Homo-oligomer: A and B are copies of this chain.
Amino acid sequence: MRMAELSRESGVAVPTIKYYQREGLLPPGELTSPNQARYTATHVRRLRLVRALLEIGGLSVAGVREVLAAIDDPTTSTHDILGLAQHGLPMAKLEVSDDDRAWAMERIETAAAERGWQPHPESPVIEAIVGVLCAFRQVGHEWALDALDLYAEAADLVADADVTAVARLGRTEAIVEGAVVGTVLGDALLAALRRLAHAEASRKLFQA
């Protein structure tokens, strides 16, 4: 297909496709004449992935380049590629004191051990959890963390389903795209459902 068709097929505007090419996010097409190139289904798939990483995942261009390089390297495991994509997702960070960090790490290790998780202590995800726990503490609402185990259980419940479903997508590119879309939109889904569940629980408790 020509550039115009690639644009129609993928829903990505031509100037944007050209920008992706200049940034090394999309391989060139096969030249059929000095100023015309042919594109294939591979380009359509890559474009979808790039858009999902950039627009839904909010990854930087450099982050997307890293994920694509990992996908194109046959020696990288799917687990490592998923890690790269996940670590590129923006997460809130908070400056915390050493004392607060030690307190948070202890709580995280206890909760992780209970679920049989073996997290990397230097993972950016651990950093994000430390930040949230310290935020609860700083605003004087440490009581909320009594439910930390339940939160971890809920996270496990959906994460297992997510990863099993995503693995069925087959091709590594599709898996990575699915993981990013599922992670980011899944956050929004879980947050909205939790508000609905709050309303139900409040009705039962305060209006009984």
Residues of A at the B interface (CB closer than 8 Å) are: 48, 52, 56, 77-79, 82-83, 86, 89, 91-92, 112, 115-119, 123, 125-126, 128-129, 132-133, 135-136, 139-141, 143-144, 146-148, 150-165, 167-169, 177-179, 181-183, 185-203, 205-207
B157 contacts A198, CB within 8 Å? no
Task: Report A75 CB to chain B, min CB distance, Å.
Answer: 14
The 4 closest A-B pairs by CB, nearest first: A159-B197, A155-B193, A163-B201, A154-B154
Please, which residues of chain B bring their CB within 8 A of the CB of A83? 199, 202
CB-based contact A147/B158 at 8 Å: yes
Please measure, in the bound complex, the distance between the C-alpha atom of A161 and the C-alpha atom of B133, giving whole angstroms: 17
**Once the chains bind, are A167 and B205 in contact (CB under 8 Å)?**
yes
Q: Which residues from B are CB-within-8-Å of A148?
A: 189
Report the bound CA distance from A112 to B192 in whole Å. Answer: 13
Instruction: Tell me the complex Cα distance, A164–B202, Å.
Output: 9
A200 to B202, CA, bound (A): 33
- CB-CB under 8 A from A144, the residues of chain B are 162, 165, 178, 181-182, 185-186
Do residues B197 and A86 form an inter-chain contact, with CB atoms below 8 A?
no
Does B151 lie within 8 Å of A181, measured CB to CB?
A: no
Contacting pair A191 B194 (CB below 8 A): no
Apart from A144-B178, A162-B201, list 10 A-B contacts with CB within 8 A. Answer: A79-B202, A79-B207, A125-B192, A144-B185, A151-B186, A156-B197, A159-B200, A167-B205, A187-B190, A191-B191
Quick check: A164 and B205 within 8 Å, CB to CB? yes
The reply to whether B200 and A118 form a contact with Cβ atoms under 8 Å apart is yes
Contact, CB under 8 Å: A158 / B150? yes
A186 CA / B37 CA spacing, docked (Å): 50
Choice from B77, B135, B143, B190 contacting A165 with Cβ under 8 Å: B143
